[in-house]
Amino acid sequence: MTRHRVVVTGFGVISACGNGWEPYWDSALQGRSAVREVERLKLNGFSFKYAGTIRDFDPKQYVENRKSLKVMSREIQLAVGAAKLALQDAGLFGTAYDQSRFGVTLGTGIINNDLDEIGVGFKNAIDGSGRFSMAKFGQEGVRSLFPLWFLKYLPNMPACHVSIAYHLRGPSNTITTSSAAGAQAIGEAYRVIERGDADIMLAGGTDSKLNAMGISRFHLLGLLSKRAGLPEHVYTPFDERHDGIVLGEGAGILVLESLENAKRRGAPIYAEITGYGSSSDFNFDPRDEDDFTGKRVAMRRALEDAGIEHHDVDVIVANGSGVPQGDIQEALAIHSFCMGSFDKQSVTALKSVTGDLVYGSGGVEAVIAALIANKRVVPPVTNLKKPYPECPLPLVRDKAKSADVTNVMFNNFGFGGQNASLVFKHVKA
Amino acid sequence: MTPLGNNVRDTWLRVTQGKSGIGPITLFDASTFNTRIAGEVKNFNFERWLERNPPLASATRSTFFALQAAAEAYKDAMLKPFSVDSRRFGLYFGAGDSGIDFEPFIKTLMASFGPGAELVDKGKYLHHAPEHMSALRELESQPFMTVTHLTRLFDIRGPVSNCLTACAASSQAIGEAYEWIKRGDADVMMSGGSHSMVYPLGIAGFSLLTALSTRNSEPEKASRPFDKKRDGFVISEGAGVLIIEELQHAKKRKAHIYGEVVGYGSTADSYRLTDMDPEARGASEAMRIAMTKAGIGPADVDYINAHGTSTSVNDSLETTVIKKVMGEYAKKIPVSSTKSMLGHMIAAAGGVEAIFCLLAMRDSIIPPTINYEEPDPELDLDYVPNVARRTDVNVALSNSFGFGGQNICLALRRYDGA
């Protein structure tokens, strides 16, 4: 079976850093966090102070069909927006590509309902005694909901909207493996091109948990950081002060393309994707500090797929969620993966730049991982002052570091125990 | 796990007898909903699982269905702990999401209607949520948790993924699992899917889209694919799990082989969100790709398990698709929709339907499309009306078309021993 080589030819990012990959890359290089005090949500004193909120995204700039906007949740809008930016960056937007050889694979999760939108149905189901009545909900409640309400929240809708907006008729998939979904979607799209089922794929992730249901769920799970301080300094993965996640929102989409196709149309190539591995953690308890084997196995599989050895890896872009157990597990996994010796590797982590995009994190962070392979510069871990002693990794601190980068390992690990790793390789101009 | 039985044997027996698993909704009080019928899984012993696995206490119905079906598949494939290299044993699943944890959500929401400009006071919601909601149940409602439990309980340490492409999810999972094995990433894969959308917001959502049958007075007659009086699909629930294995690996351990996965096509309609493409290019292309990969032509196809949802549009367009792809053979190929008996298990549908294709090969019997009473003049294929048919099946296709325009076709072939 012929295996096609797959390259990265475009990036589309919408995040708290701004629109397009450039402001995101710039923030990462400067070690500048886009986490701010929360403005958009009025939370009436509930202590949720900081987030990587997108401030200047106007969906109308990205969605031509205004009627479509009504059936798009924020996650869908962000995906359609990032997809447009990616197509533009790859020089594909508005060109005549072969639609049947062009597909999309996105990582998404449960899209949370807008409480005001769904709330109407429940408010209209309150009976005379002031209680919720299922009998009333079945009629008046249901009838008062927006008829297409349901369509805004199905997890496969971001990929469907992207395929409709840009006429992509090739393979379409939606991956829902927790915070590993974004990288896994990229890995799966890579496979689709590798085996010849498409020439080009849009791949990445989208998410926004900056809504009441999302915040509530993360709060209940005890995963959120409780620290106070300067907003841009509060999110500190791998630092001794790490105490949890600061949420962000956004979408990151890569254009993956067969090498032949990219060459044929003379597209600039950012990097080659050469490895993908996935696994599930072997123990059940996500808080088990000793269970790093699943994570190591995902990295090993990506490495073997790329046909390289651990000492060929120059940079590891860690998942680094800032949840102490997760950071420790990952540090152990990386340690064990590198067999305890880091002769030339550097490790960085990106979540403190934008906040944690959860199901969408793999999409945006993969953009930086591919850019590291492209530009041979490694951004520092933003907000890393004093590394947590149990995470003894060669973390890049304070400022970006130039390095002779050939292979970049990118980790995206989910809190449900799903893991995905990718390898991006430098391509000589 | 289906509305017709909690194992393959019972389900298949009733499917070949043309029985319906649809009845009134009992899982919640649906008495005032426009649609009050569904295909529910019955008499399932959740406690038996809980006794042995206390961490499942907060797991969803869908996860339990997946575990039960997976346990049956694992046993049927004669797999045992340490009988396969667990690092070469992978999982590609199509587990659906489980919706909102309804009761705690209502309690929280009722306490959060505010006097302010916005209907729901978000601060109040966040304050009240911990009083009513359970962290573990919130975690379990996430679409990856089914996979988390499956990998743990069946010691699956190979590559793992979960896709959720609406009604096409478990067919897509099987197709991708097949690709993983072909590529050499695993020797054995567990695949298929599980789902339950028989909950108030699930019924409400599809009802508002006018996709559901409202034939409440005759539940068993409500799902009537290809019949002129079809008026929508019937939601049902369950799981269908398959063990897919590299041929030499299966031979070496002398496993029973039901059939071979020979082709998989995946396309998008890229048309409109709420409508299927009237030209049905995407669906036709998915079938063509699956057949090309399988190296088969229309003359080779003995059976098509249709997506056949019983909605006006799907059944008419699927008929068009089959005519387009099969040409002069279209009317000769038996096409049936087992959704006529089981309803639509959404993400889990394709897993169960792939199993039926393989059992049709084993038993030389094609399951019927029941409730086919009045032909629709435009829909003129051989839908295997009402009664199962004895005939050899060597090659079968299984169609799954997801909401939003995602099309999957699987090609399966009887294993000839070579």
> Residue B245 domain-assigned?
yes
| pLDDT for residue A40 is more than 70 | no
- Confidence category of residue A284, pLDDT binned at 50, 70, 90: low
The amino acid present at B274, given as its one-letter code, is: T
Mean pLDDT of B396-404: 95
Say how many residues make up chain A. Answer: 429
pLDDT at B340: 98
Chain A CB contacts of B143 under 8 Å are 109-110, 155, 176
N-to-C CA span, chain B: 32
Same domain, B116 and B33: no
What SS3 class is residue B311?
coil
pLDDT at A291: 66
pLDDT at B239: 98
Tell me if A134 and B147 make a contact (CB, 8 A cut-off): no
Same domain, B219 and B365: yes
**ipTM for the complex shown:** 0.97
Of the candidates A208, A203, A188, A223, the one whose C-alpha atom is nearest the C-alpha of residue A416 is: A223
Same domain, B132 and B280: no
Of the candidates A184, A162, A181, A180, the one whose C-alpha atom is nearest the C-alpha of residue A172 is: A162
Q: What is the pLDDT of residues B35-68, one digit of tens each?
A: 999 999 999 999 999 999 888 999 999 999 999 9
Tell me if A156 and B204 make a contact (CB, 8 A cut-off): no
> Residue B3 domain-assigned?
no
> Residue B230 domain-assigned?
yes
What residues contact A371, with CB distance under 8 A and at least 6 apart? A11, A21, A25, A270, A271
- Confidence category of residue A37, pLDDT binned at 50, 70, 90: very high
Mean pLDDT of B269-284: 89
Q: What is the pLDDT of residues A87-132, one digit of tens each?
A: 999 999 999 999 999 999 999 999 999 999 999 999 999 999 999 9
Of the candidates A154, A173, A195, A196, the one whose C-alpha atom is nearest the C-alpha of residue B266 is: A173
Of the candidates B386, B375, B330, B17, the one whose C-alpha atom is nearest the C-alpha of residue B230 is: B375
Same domain, B239 and B132: no
pLDDT at A39: 76
Same domain, B196 and B340: yes
Q: What is the pLDDT of residues B224-269, one digit of tens each?
A: 999 999 999 999 999 999 999 999 999 999 999 999 999 999 999 9
pLDDT at A285: 55
How many angstroms away from the CA of A380 is the closest CA of chain B?
31
| pLDDT for residue B99 is more than 90 | no
> Residue B327 domain-assigned?
yes
Rounded distance between C-alpha atoms, residue B213 and residue B122, angstroms: 36
How many angstroms away from the CA of B355 is the closest CA of chain A?
22
Same domain, B134 and B145: no
Same domain, B49 and B115: no
What residues contact B396, with CB distance under 8 A and at least 6 apart? B301, B302, B303, B304, B305, B357, B358, B360, B361, B411, B412, B413
pLDDT at A416: 82
Tell me if B204 and A46 make a contact (CB, 8 A cut-off): no
> Residue B2 domain-assigned?
no
Judge contact between A273 and A186, C-beta under 8 A.
yes
Best residue of A47, A49, A143, A172 to probe chain B, by most B CBs closer than 10 Å: A172
What residues contact A389, with CB distance under 8 A and at least 6 apart? A240
pLDDT at A44: 65
CATH of residue B16's domain is 3.40.47.10
What is the token pair recorded at B268?
Answer: 């998008």
What residue of B is the nearest CA neighbor of A293? Answer: B157
What residues contact A260, with CB distance under 8 A and at least 6 apart? A4, A199
Query: For B143, which of A110, A170, A278 is closest by C-beta distance?
Result: A110
Q: What angle do CA A385, A388, A390 make, to 5 degrees?
A: 160
User: Which residue range forms the structural domain that includes residue B188?
Assistant: 8-99+141-414
Tell me if B163 and A414 make a contact (CB, 8 A cut-off): no
Q: What is the DSSP letter of B132?
A: H
| pLDDT for residue B130 is more than 70 | yes
Same domain, B237 and B112: no
Q: What angle do CA A419, A16, A89 make, to 5 degrees?
A: 80
Same domain, B337 and B396: yes
Same domain, B129 and B149: no
Of the candidates B8, B11, B14, B4, the one whose C-alpha atom is nearest the C-alpha of residue B70 is: B8
Rounded distance between C-alpha atoms, residue B175 and residue B296, angstroms: 17
Mean pLDDT of A64-73: 90
How deeply is B390 buried, as exposed, middle or buried, from its count of CB atoms within 10 A (0-12, 13-18, 19+)?
Answer: exposed
Matching residue, tokens 């009045």: B374
How many angstroms away from the CA of B10 is the closest CA of chain A?
32
pLDDT at B216: 98
Rounded distance between C-alpha atoms, residue B130 and residue B144, angstroms: 23
Judge contact between B21 and B341, C-beta under 8 A.
yes
Of the candidates A208, A215, A235, A226, the one whose C-alpha atom is nearest the C-alpha of residue A383 is: A235
What residue of A is the nearest CA neighbor of B180? Answer: A191
What SS3 class is residue A143?
helix
- Confidence category of residue B97, pLDDT binned at 50, 70, 90: confident
The amino acid present at B98, given as its one-letter code, is: S
How deeply is A341 buried, as exposed, middle or buried, from its count of CB atoms within 10 A (0-12, 13-18, 19+)?
Answer: exposed
Tell me if B270 and A99 make a contact (CB, 8 A cut-off): yes
- Confidence category of residue B217, pLDDT binned at 50, 70, 90: very high
| pLDDT for residue B117 is more than 70 | yes
Rounded distance between C-alpha atoms, residue B206 and residue B226, angstroms: 20
User: DSSP assignment of A196-245, as one string?
Assistant: TS-SEEEEEEEEE--SHHHHHHHHHTT-B----S-GGGS--TTBTT--SB
> Residue B1 domain-assigned?
no
pLDDT at B176: 98
Mean pLDDT of A396-406: 96
Same domain, B237 and B323: yes
Number of domains in chain B: 2
**Catalytic site positions of B:** 167, 307, 344
| pLDDT over 70 percentage in chain A | 97
What SS3 class is residue B405?
coil
Same domain, B274 and B369: yes
| Alpha-carbon separation of residue B309 from B41, B216, B316, B403 (angstroms) | 19, 17, 10, 11
Q: What is the pLDDT of residues B139-184, one digit of tens each?
A: 999 989 999 999 999 999 999 999 999 999 999 999 999 999 999 9
| pLDDT over 90 percentage in chain A | 89
Q: What is the pLDDT of residues B189-210, one digit of tens each?
A: 999 999 999 999 999 999 999 9
> Residue B244 domain-assigned?
yes
| pLDDT for residue A289 is more than 70 | no
| Other CB atoms within 10 Å distance of the CB of residue B52 | 8
Say how many residues make up chain B. Answer: 418
Which residues, listed in sequence order, are joined to residue B93 by a DSSP beta bridge?
B162, B192
- Confidence category of residue A153, pLDDT binned at 50, 70, 90: very high
How deeply is A340 buried, as exposed, middle or buried, from its count of CB atoms within 10 A (0-12, 13-18, 19+)?
Answer: exposed
| pLDDT for residue A288 is more than 60 | no
